[in-house]
Amino acid sequence: MPELPEVETTRRGIEPHVLGRRIDRLLVHDRRLRWPVDLTLIAAVAGSSIRRAGRRAKYLLLETEAGTLILHLGMSGSLRILPTSTPRVAHDHVDIELDSGQTLRFNDPRRFGSLLFTTADPSLHPLLKGLAPEPLEDDFNGEYLWKITRRRAVAIKQLVMNSRLVVGVGNIYASEALFRARVRPRRPARSLTRVECAKLARAIKATLAMAVKVGGTTLRDYVGADGNPGYFRQRLYVYERDGSPCRVCGKPIKHFTQGGRSTYWCSNCQK
Ligand SMILES: [Zn+2]
């Protein structure tokens, strides 16, 4: 599933191809995404230029003169820049044809992705309004984590994966960040000290930033025919490494299920 770093990598990959380009035509081949695509957006954006390719949490925001397209990749979605004449393959649901002769093509086998449109400020859209601070920006920090953990007994891993409190930290990055901060995933959130909150905030930023950086090396994939983002698994400390030696202490990485999701950790390094 694309997580925040993959979405940011996608944003960076498409940005140079879409910025300043006019949308000649938007085609919806199959509107049955997570929410049925509102077909009135086709006429609404036709002929308008793309002013900004932004991101909020895992939503890509294509700001045009007419309004903002809000795109979510869901569980299996990907975007590619292709020559407009490229034949469609299975699960290509949307084409945003640009005046450059290229198309921004949305493919999503499982159709949990979405395409929405708003003429208002996108930050006021119901999907974006209640979102927590962006983890890579300054208002997400140790003090913020300290504040939101004080009254919460929920396990810290589940807290950092709660998008109402921390956006964009999915299962892989939650496990990785907790390892980097040396905090056990099952600790009650409120048991973290101020120092641990600061370490965890830094670890979340570092984990995501590294993933974005490494994702940057696969940018070519987004403009070619192969849209696979690649999850740079060789750099992971704990995720899906159960039984393998911890990269820091050598003890076997452990695994358990928490809130329906797999959690990986080192019982020696994490306190
Ligand atoms: Zn270890």
| Distance, CA of 169 to CA of 253 (rounded, Å) | 21
- What value does the mean pLDDT of the chain take? 91
Answer whether 31's CB lies under 8 Å from 37's CB. Answer: yes
Cα separation, 18 vs 48, whole angstroms: 12
Task: State the pLDDT confidence band at 223, using cuts at 50, 70 and 90.
Answer: very low
Q: How confident is the model at residue 79 (pLDDT cuts 50, 70, 90)?
A: very high
Q: Residue 231 pLDDT more than 90?
A: no
- Ion ligand 1: protein residues whose beta carbon lies under 5 Å: 246, 248-249, 266, 268-269
* Distance separating alpha carbons of residues 51 and 64, to the nearest angstrom: 5
Note whether 71 and 106 are within 8 A (CB): yes
Can you read off the two tokens belonging to residue 34?
Answer: 């997570």
- Say what the pLDDT of residue 184 is: 98
- Residue type for position 14: I
- DSSP per position, 212-245: HHHHHTTTHHHHSS-------GGG-SSTT-BTSB
**Beta-carbon contacts of residue 104 (< 8 Å; ≥ 6 apart):** 14, 17, 18, 79, 80, 81, 95, 96, 98
On the question of pLDDT at 143 being above 60, the answer is yes
Cα of 247 vs centre of ligand 1, distance in Å, is 7
Question: What pLDDT is attached to residue 170?
Answer: 87
For 1-50, the pLDDT digits (tens) are 788 888 998 999 899 999 999 999 999 999 999 999 999 999 999 999 99
**Residue 238 predicted with pLDDT over 80:** yes
Model pLDDT, residue 211: 84
Q: Which of 11, 55, 56, 58 is catalytic?
A: 58
36 in active site: no
The pLDDT-based confidence of 64 (bands split at 50, 70, 90) is very high
Q: How many CB atoms are located within 10 Å of the residue 28 CB?
A: 18
Q: How far apart are CA 89 and CA 14, in angstroms?
A: 20
Query: In this structure, are residues 221 and 228 in contact, taking their beta carbons and an 8 Å threshold?
Result: yes
pLDDT at 234: 59
What value, to the nearest 5°, has the Cα angle with vertex 65 and ends 117 and 96?
60
254 is annotated as an active-site residue? no
Active-site residue, from 3, 8, 97, 196: 3
- Provide the pLDDT for residue 221: 44
